[in-house]
Amino acid sequence: MLGAAAWRHVTEASAQPQQQRHQQQRQRQRRRASSLAEPAAAPDAATFPRQQQQHSNLQPPARSTQQQQQQQAQAHHHGAIELVVGPMFAGKTTELLRRVAQCEAAGLSVAVVKSNKDTRYCSASVVTHNGLKRPCYAAPSLAAFKAAAGEAYAGFHVIAVDEAQFFPDLRDFCTHAADHEHKRLILAGLDGDFQRQRFGQVLDLLPLADSVTKLTAHCKFCAQEQRRVAAVFSLRIAADSRQELVGGADVYAPVCRRHYVQLSSVRQQDDGGEMVEGGSGEERAM
């Protein structure tokens, strides 16, 4: 058996490695705590500008209003055809003039054109049902408009056409103007007559158009029933069978599908009343 002195020597020798381990662990903890307390080193003066420049490259540069307008003008140099269609009283001309105002605000030169058949509100202006008014070219065809514009035509970025269904050369003129003259065409017109048949050449531009907007009105007869229903058709309510009949609320009414079917049946049964069959109608300036 070991004596007391020998046993004490053995236990002290075995305790030394354990004490050393505890001491080393405490030293590591102190070093870690001191490193967390120290402030972060400032970035190197030579590398910080490069880092800042790389970050700033990710931010879009501020553009002035003039630069934005110039870029928008350049975007239209490729040419485009935009259709705005719908029934009577859908606000097609209002939408046309809204886009015209946007183009002019972007610094683009705009020509507004309408058919010379429409002389009810003003022979030299496009006028909406709610009274908005804009001077325009009034011509029997778009070729006639181009001739009347003369040298000014080359400077137009945008050509806005109201009552597009009335122009006999609509398809050819718009195709050439957009494809080869790189002009933006904004066209507002009926996509169908009061018999729900094609009207003019508006539908011929569907496969050529960049965008098509279909507007709706509110059904006149649903409103009398205290209901608000979208109107997608134009119903002729006047006793007139002429193909071209320019008129407003006294001649046409915007109707939903249900009322179009019901009232068209009444018109077929009573060809001597206010509703008569035949022909295709023209609308007044929207």
Q: What is the pLDDT of residues 199-257, one digit of tens each?
A: 999 999 999 999 999 999 999 999 998 899 999 999 887 766 654 566 666 678 899 99
Q: Is residue 220 part of a domain?
A: yes
pLDDT confidence of residue 3? 58
Q: Is residue 117 part of a domain?
A: yes
Q: Is residue 140 part of a domain?
A: yes
Q: Into how many domains does the chain fold?
A: 1
What b/e readout covers 82-91, taking b as 16+ CB neighbours within 10 angstroms?
bbbbbbbbbb
pLDDT confidence of residue 117? 85
pLDDT confidence of residue 51? 44
What is the DSSP-derived secondary structure letter of residue 200?
A: T
Q: Is residue 59 part of a domain?
A: no
E strands along 26-136, which residues?
Answer: 80-85, 110-115, 125-127, 133-135
pLDDT confidence of residue 31? 72
Model-level pTM greater than 0.75?
A: no
Structure tokens at 64: 């002035």
Q: Are 207 and 220 in contact (CB under 8 A)?
A: no
Helix axes of 142-149 and 170-179: crossing angle, nearest 10 degrees:
50
What phi, psi does 23 have (nearest 5°)? -65, -40
Q: Is residue 15 part of a domain?
A: no
- What residues are labeled active site? 163
Distance, in Å, from the CA atom of 13 to the CA atom of 192, rounded to the nearest integer, reads: 107
Q: Is residue 169 part of a domain?
A: yes
What CATH number is associated with residue 275?
3.40.50.300
**Which structural domain range is residue 222 located in?**
66-283
pLDDT confidence of residue 8? 58
Q: Is residue 176 part of a domain?
A: yes
Which residues of the chain, if any, have pLDDT below 70? 1-22, 32-77, 239-250, 267-286
Q: Is residue 133 part of a domain?
A: yes
State the sign of the Cα–Cα–Cα–Cα dihedral 72, 74, 75, 79: positive
